[in-house]
Amino acid sequence: MNIGAKRIAILLTFVLLPGIAFTKESRSVPFEKEKQTAEASIEAHQTDLIQLSDEIWGYAETALREKKSSKALADYAEKQGFKVERGVAGMPTAFVATFGEGKPIIGILGEYDALPGISQTASAVKEPLVAGAPGHGCGHNLFGAASLGAAIGIKEMIQAGKLKGTIRFYGTPAEEAIGGKTYMAREGLFNDLDVCLAWHPATEISSDTDSSQAIVDLIVEFKGKAAHAAFDPWDGRSALDGLEIFTHALNMMREHVKPTVRMHYVIQKGGDVPNVVPEYARLWCWLRDSKRTGVDELLERVEKMAEGAGLAAGVEAKVTVQGGSYEMLVNFAGQRILYKNLQWLGPMKFTEEEQQFAKQIQKATNVSPKGLNTEIKPFNEHPGEPQGGSTDVGDVSWIVPTIHLSVTTAPADAPWHAWPVVACGGMSIGHKGLVYASKALVATMVDLYLDPENREKLRKEFEASANGTVYKGYIPDGPPPVPED
Ligand SMILES: [Zn+2]
């Protein structure tokens, strides 16, 4: 290149750069006009959605007790013209809200249960709103309201004749306890969906290609024979001995399982007083691995272990599976569509006050005061093993192609299931996450309604990765354990 040409090249660069910077190309997506309409609909409802979220944040009802929370969402859906079926799958706080008719049928999941004991005001210092009361430490108040918002966005487009099909919002209770979705799955409530979407409050924005862990939840009981522990202990058989042999064996097994396995338990009953040979002992245990097949293997080993422990102690052993979940079956085709829409929406915007609020929480919880993550996490084509943690969205993902989103609603690295999440979920940081999630979900649904090829891609990948697996949840026969009060 001679000097003359170089000069021209430099000149061109200067001329072209502002042009590139101002072009809208980087934000362009398919069906942009329709997405703008959907975005405007979220904005039109955002005051109501935030109010709904704050209301549910205030109720802070725990698993299967979410009466006021589910009513607030179901009533709003009904007011918007959805047909609402309440109390589905034997759970008074589960509901399905439907609008439109015919195919495609797209579902969107909403949760609203809180966690016990972590009540907190919407402030940057640890300060319970009601000492000892529950709080929304997983941000499910935002989860339910944002998903309903996205469903309303689609409903308005169906109503206006801009797209065809059915939108269904699933009010799914008790994610934190029994996994309400597994009971809804058992009833076949997700079977006719073409695609399902879900999101979760988080400390970052991402189109999630990470899976979650599969889990089984079980109770191990031992029944022995009581006797005076000093006068005639030879007449007794200790249920606690059985339990101790069992936990010893379980803990020895840790050396002989894959590093992806997690096993944790609590002893719920181990006898009453030292001078009575314990007649009854009970342990609650969760087994997890990256895949359901791994958990099935663990369960088989643990069942034998309980039997062996019972034999050794001369007591009866019983293992009862209470529930569990599959790992997330990630659908990359769906996640790519979502990712494009995140790029179209762009990073989140927080004010200086909001960043300061986040930093104050980070200092209080001894994590680096980096503030809030506003950027979209790069798409991860090759995720490794999932981090610890499970969700009942995993079950849905084995029935229908499922897309999963995470959105910033709390400070980076802040402890989860803890007061910082409650605090941010009740103020503008969480509210912004709610609106952002709603927009990302509605834009993604526009792609799914308007382009049948997108749905086809998701379905093909789903069939290839499920590889003929027929969904069968872990929950036992019988109704869900709904509390009486
Ligand atoms: Zn959660």
Over pLDDT 70: what percentage of the chain? 94
* pLDDT value at 21 more than 50: no
* pLDDT value at 22 more than 80: no
What lies within 8 Å, CB to CB, of 2 at 6+ separation is none
Output b/e per residue, 104-123; b: 16+ Cβ within 10 A: bbbbbbbbbbbbeebbbbbe
Query: Which residues are near ligand 1, the ion (C-beta closer than 5 Å)?
Result: 138
Cα–ligand 1 centroid distance for 391 (angstroms): 8
- Mean pLDDT for the stretch of residues 23-46: 86
Cα–ligand 1 centroid distance for 198 (angstroms): 11
- Mean pLDDT for the stretch of residues 41-57: 98
Cα–ligand 1 centroid distance for 99 (angstroms): 26
Residue 389 corresponds to which amino acid? G
Q: What is the pLDDT of residue 8?
A: 36
Dihedral of the alpha carbons of 54, 56, 57, 63, in degrees to the nearest 10: -170
Partnered with residue 281 across adjacent β-strands are: 222
**Of the candidates 182, 16, 212, which has an alpha carbon nearest to the alpha carbon of residue 91?**
182
Cα–ligand 1 centroid distance for 104 (angstroms): 28
Cα–ligand 1 centroid distance for 364 (angstroms): 23
Residue given tokens 């001894």 in the structure block: 366
Cα–ligand 1 centroid distance for 310 (angstroms): 37
Q: What is the pLDDT of residue 16?
A: 39
- Mean pLDDT for the stretch of residues 295-303: 98
**Contact (CB, 8 A) for 413 and 114:** no
Cα–ligand 1 centroid distance for 140 (angstroms): 6
pLDDT digits (tens, 9 = 90+) for 305-351: 999 999 999 999 999 999 999 999 999 999 999 999 999 999 999 99
**Contact (CB, 8 A) for 242 and 311:** no
Q: What is the pLDDT of residue 62?
A: 97
pLDDT digits (tens, 9 = 90+) for 221-241: 999 999 999 999 999 999 999
How is residue 284 written in tokens? Answer: 């609650």
**Contact (CB, 8 A) for 134 and 114:** yes
Over pLDDT 90: what percentage of the chain? 93
User: What confidence tier does 219 reach under pLDDT thresholds 50, 70, 90?
Assistant: very high
* pLDDT value at 18 more than 70: no
Query: Quick one: how many helices (H) and strands (E) in the chain?
Result: 13, 11
Cα–ligand 1 centroid distance for 235 (angstroms): 49
Cα–ligand 1 centroid distance for 381 (angstroms): 24
Q: What is the pLDDT of residue 27?
A: 62
Cα–ligand 1 centroid distance for 70 (angstroms): 16
pLDDT digits (tens, 9 = 90+) for 81-108: 999 999 999 999 999 999 999 999 999 9
Output b/e per residue, 177-199; b: 16+ Cβ within 10 A: bbbbbbbbbbeebbeebbbbbbb
Q: What is the pLDDT of residue 388?
A: 87
Cα–ligand 1 centroid distance for 224 (angstroms): 39
Cα–ligand 1 centroid distance for 452 (angstroms): 31
Cα–ligand 1 centroid distance for 175 (angstroms): 7
**Contact (CB, 8 A) for 321 and 395:** no
- 3-state SS class at 347: coil
Q: What is the pLDDT of residue 330?
A: 98
pLDDT digits (tens, 9 = 90+) for 116-139: 999 999 999 999 999 999 999 999
Residue 370: how many other CB atoms lie within 10 Å: 14
User: What confidence tier does 9 reach under pLDDT thresholds 50, 70, 90?
Assistant: very low
Cα–ligand 1 centroid distance for 136 (angstroms): 9
Predicted TM-score of the model (pTM): 0.92
Whether the bond between 128 and the residue before it is cis, its omega within 30 degrees of 0, is: no
CA distances from 289 to 179, 259, 323, 331, 402 (A): 17, 9, 15, 20, 20
**Contact (CB, 8 A) for 89 and 187:** yes
Q: What is the pLDDT of residue 115?
A: 97
**Contact (CB, 8 A) for 208 and 248:** no
pLDDT digits (tens, 9 = 90+) for 242-287: 999 999 999 999 999 999 999 999 999 999 999 999 999 999 999 9
Cα–ligand 1 centroid distance for 292 (angstroms): 20
Cα–ligand 1 centroid distance for 96 (angstroms): 19
Cα–ligand 1 centroid distance for 200 (angstroms): 6
Cα–ligand 1 centroid distance for 476 (angstroms): 23
Residue 6: how many other CB atoms lie within 10 Å: 10
Cα–ligand 1 centroid distance for 413 (angstroms): 16
Q: What is the pLDDT of residue 12?
A: 37
Cα–ligand 1 centroid distance for 138 (angstroms): 5
Q: What is the pLDDT of residue 249?
A: 98
Cα–ligand 1 centroid distance for 176 (angstroms): 7
- Mean pLDDT for the stretch of residues 177-182: 95
User: What confidence tier does 2 reach under pLDDT thresholds 50, 70, 90?
Assistant: very low
Q: What is the pLDDT of residue 5?
A: 37
Cα–ligand 1 centroid distance for 421 (angstroms): 11
